[in-house]
Amino acid sequence: MKIGIPRSLLYYYYYPFWQTLFAELGNEVVVSDPTSGDQLNEGVKESVSEICVPMKVHIGQVLNLLEKGVDLIYIPRFVSIRRGITFCPKFLGLPDMIKNSIAAVRGKILTHEIRAKTDDISAYKNYTIFRDIFRVSKGELKKALEAARQNWLKFRALQQEGYKTEKLLLGEKEKREEGLLKIGVLGYVYNLYDRFINMDFLDRLEELGAKIVTFEMLDGDIVDRFIKNLRKPMFWEFTNRLMAAGYHFINSADIDGIIHITAFGCGPDSILGPFLEIDAGQKNKPFMTLRIDEQTGESHLITRIEAFLDLLKLKKRSDIA
């Protein structure tokens, strides 16, 4: 079978897992084309107007896969990968939203619930429906899941060694650039690595001489320990991870500044943002929020990045003097 995977949302975190899993089960894996203007326009047409831009991108990606003529489109329902913590409601309802937004996709969605204790999502119990769909034995499925897990762990390890996520996903290995300024960049993977919606934000930062650190590059223990020790963690998995990374950056002397990149209208980020902004201010750590949306002007983004880096350079110069 031809299994379509939308190049959006958790593709940027789990693609190595999914790719191996479906290939091991004897399928051809098709990924939708990188986000483009046309594709997003199509996505916007089929979306409810108030959802965030990454969701609109996702709908555009699903439409793109339909055009490619795949047999099934994989849209899992991520419920939880940590005890007591769930995903943003849009993830919880994702398969239903897609089904009800795009008539032509009915009957072509491959979905099931993901419930796990960690971000290792390879537990067999989540995938039992795969046995009938792909006509495989329990043993074969378990073997495929283990292979997927191994490949994903390798990907996670390379991220932590400082290889660029956006390159690893394409099967390339390239280390993050070194730079004069070390910038902690906070953002969900689907905002960080979709070059179209963030207007090449990471490349631009690197061109201007920044060394980028993101949450997936941190040691998993830092994140887990932080979330465990929170008196009141937030409800959403990746928001907690960003919060952990954010506080780690705030308290790291070698981080020159923090940029939070967020999609216009993101509910969880509307709570996360002020926490970080206030505490970064108290610790004297420069902090900037960048908002992205369908129609954000590029010049605004560049002006902000440039001005922020200028500010950090001046600060560094005066700290040394």
| Binds another protein by CB under 8 A, chosen from 196, 216, 225, 227 | 196
Q: Rank residues 65 and 141 by Cβ distance to another protein and give the closer one.
A: 65
**Binding of another protein at residue 234 (CB under 8 A)?**
no
Please, which residue, 66 or 92, has the CB nearer to another protein?
66
Closest CA to 183 of 214, 151, 217, 154: 214
Q: Binding to another protein by residue 311, rule CB under 8 A?
A: yes
| 286 touches another protein (CB under 8 A) | yes
Q: Choose between 97 and 205: whose C-beta lies nearer to another protein.
A: 205
Smallest separation (angstroms) from another protein to the CB of 303: 4
User: Quick check: helix, strand or coil at residue 209?
Assistant: coil
244 or 280: CB nearest another protein: 280
Return the number of the residue (229 or 299) whose C-beta is nearest another protein: 299
By CB under 8 A, residue 230 contacts another protein:
no
User: What is the rounded distance in angstroms from the CA atom of residue 319 to the CA atom of residue 321?
Assistant: 6
How many beta carbons lie within 10 A of that of residue 314, not counting itself?
10
Looking at beta carbons, which pairs linking 34-42 to residues 24 or more positions away fall under 8 Å?
34/7, 34/194, 34/195, 34/196, 35/7, 35/8, 35/60, 35/61, 35/194, 35/195, 35/196, 35/197, 36/196, 37/196, 39/63, 39/64, 40/196, 40/197, 40/294
Residues 92-151 that bind another protein (CB under 8 A): none
What is the distance of C-alpha 294 from the center of its chain? 18
- For another protein, which stretch binds (CB under 8 A), given 4-12, 71-79, 223-231, 306-314? 306-314
Torsions phi, psi for 87 (to 5 deg): -100, 170
* Candidate residues 37, 93, 220, 267; the one interacting with another protein per rule CB under 8 A: 37
Q: Closer CB to another protein, residue 176 or residue 241? A: 176
- Name residues contacting another protein, limited to 237-266 (CB under 8 A): 264
Stretch of 74-82, 119-127, 184-192, 294-302 lying at the interface with another protein (CB under 8 A): 294-302
Of 104-112, 151-159, 195-203, 237-245, the window that binds another protein (rule: CB under 8 A) is: 195-203
- Give the whole-angstrom CA distance, residue 119 versus residue 280: 28
Strand partners, 29: 3
Q: What is the DSSP string of 82-110?
A: BTTBB--HHHHTHHHHHHHH-GGGTT-EE
Tell me which residue has tokens 């400082």: 162
Among 57, 72, 185, 199, interactor with another protein by CB under 8 A: 199
Give the C-alpha separation, 138 to 267, whole Å.
40
Site for another protein in 75-94 (CB under 8 A): none
Gap between the Cα atoms of 257 and 266, Å rounded: 22
**Residue of the chain from 46, 200, 243, 272 that contacts another protein (CB under 8 A):** 200
| H-run or E-run covering 247 | helix 237-250
Which of 104, 157, 170, 180 forms a contact with another protein (CB under 8 A)?
A: 180
Rg value, the chain, Cα: 20
Answer for which of 8, 27, 32, 39 binds another protein (CB under 8 A) is: 39
49 is a contact residue toward another protein (CB under 8 A): no
Q: According to the binding rule CB under 8 A, does residue 170 interact with another protein?
A: no
**4 forms bridges with which residues in the sheet?**
30, 73
Binding site residues, another protein, CB under 8 A: 33-34, 36-39, 180, 195-196, 199-200, 207-209, 264, 281, 286, 291, 293, 299-300, 302-304, 306-311, 313-315, 318
